[in-house]
Structure 1
Amino acid sequence: MIDWHNMSPQEIERRARNIAPGEWAVEMQKPISTLLGSCVAVCMYDPAVGVGGMNHFMLPNMRKREGTVDVDSLLSGDYAMEVLLNGILGRGGARHRIKAKAFGGGTIISGIAASGIGKRNADFAREWLDREGIELIASDFLGACSRKLLFVPATGDAYCRRMTTTMATAQEVAKAEQAYAESLRRPPPKSNVELF
């Protein structure tokens, strides 16, 4: 058994599985990390069995546009929250024991600040957890900073490092968020599977 409590955050980060915008992960042994700008990451875990996970979403929910396929909903906050919760339950977690920690919603890019997306993401995370009866025991939302987040599902420990927004940091976060936004605009690939 790994003693995560006596390990430095740097060592935890070295061992972590990184998730990008639009992704989620459920783990028992491996830590999870991500870099946040206006996005929000929610960490949920069951302390009794040591299972937990993290998601990383850019928008609270997606609305189906007339005449389009609703694949965007698979990458939104409402989907990310449901799939994370179900992943934890599927690995032995119990709903009544699940706790949450949530982070992000920063304002690091002026165009995104004007849209208020960071605040909408943070509000969505709080409201969803409250509606589902999952206790939010720690959070760090909003502000003019990006965040590096580490989460250890086995212990429920989360490490959040606020980073002053530099040009390099803003570009790295903006690049990841832009790639995610572009993926939402692309039509799904055509399947070459023929059903008979």
Structure 2
Amino acid sequence: MIDYATLPTRDIERLSRNIRPGEWAVEAERPISTLLGSCVAVCLYDLALGLAGMNHFMLPQMKQGAHADEDVLLAGDACMEALLNAMLQRGAAKHRMRAKAFGGGAVIDTAVPGSLNVGKRNADFAHQWLEREGIPIIASDFLGPWSRKVLCVPRTGDAYCKRVTSNLISRESLRREEQAYADSLLNRPAQPGIKKIELF
């Protein structure tokens, strides 16, 4: 068994299981990581069990439509339920759960007409959902002009958040990809019979 408490975060990240938008993972040993722009990741953990999970969602809710079945886990309401249920199935107790949450960066220009102000909506949704479920947030890093790398260590419940600067990742590239996805949600025509998942 690896003692992650003794490792530098760079090594923890190298050993981690990475999740992308619309995904979630629950682990008892292996760390979980993700990279966020305007998306939000919520880490739930039960220290008594040494179990933690993380998700990564793009929007608070997904409107019903031709693509709803494909995109459902990109939405916070479905992604949060999936993560909570997976934790409960692995033996976690809701009254023992604690949350750490991150993201909602302003990587999409909210001054552009038609912008969704996605980051703030995601951060607000995470707060509201956790409050409604009675799960306390004990650490968070939301909003601001940053992308973020997030690591969660299940055994200890530790979470690491690094605000990412342009020398580590192209913020402009991430902003373009998120903007393109946001535009596609506003303008995407129904195409019967075509199954397509658009991730950034």
Q: Which runs of structure 2 are paired with 1:31-180 in the superposition (5 Å)?
A: 31-65=31-65, 68=66, 70-71=68-69, 72-110=71-109, 114-165=115-166, 168-174=169-175, 177=178
Report the Cα offset of residue 57 of structure 1.
Answer: 0.5
Query: Which one has a larger percent helix, Structure 1 or Structure 2?
Result: 1
Query: Residues of 2 paired with 1:84 and 1:112: CA distance?
Result: 33
Query: Residues of 2 paired with 1:178 and 1:167: CA distance?
Result: 20
Task: Calculate the TM-score normalised by the size of structure 1.
Answer: 0.85
Report the Cα offset of residue 188 of structure 1.
Answer: 2.7
C-alpha spacing 1:50/1:181, structure 2 compared with 1 (3 Å): farther
For the residue of structure 1 that corresponds to 2:88, the secondary structure is helix
Query: Residues of 1 paired with 2:109 and 2:167: CA distance?
Result: 13
Unaligned 5+ segments in structure 2 are none
Report the Cα offset of residue 143 of structure 1.
Answer: 0.2
Greater shift, 110-119 or 35-44, is seen at: 110-119
- 1:25-62 per-position Cα deviation (integer Å, ceiling 9, x unaligned): 11111101111110000000100011111000000001
The share of aligned pairs that are identical, in percent, is 58
When the two structures are aligned, how many residues end up with a matched partner?
187
Q: Is the 8 A contact 2:146 2:165 kept in 1?
A: yes
Task: Calculate the TM-score normalised by the size of structure 2.
Answer: 0.83
Q: Which amino acid aligns with 1:4?
A: Y
Unaligned 5+ segments in structure 1 are 190-196
Query: Residues of 1 paired with 2:158 and 2:169: CA distance?
Result: 28
Q: Is the 8 A contact 2:45 2:154 kept in 1?
A: yes
Instruction: Please identify runs of 4+ aligned residues in structure 1 that moved more than 6 A.
Output: 178-184
C-alpha spacing 1:182/1:16, structure 2 compared with 1 (3 Å): farther
Q: Which amino acid aligns with 2:195?
A: P
Report the Cα offset of residue 96 of structure 1.
Answer: 0.7
RMSD: 2.5
Which residue does the alignment assign to 2:195?
188
C-alpha spacing 1:21/1:48, structure 2 compared with 1 (3 Å): same
Which residue does the alignment assign to 2:8?
8
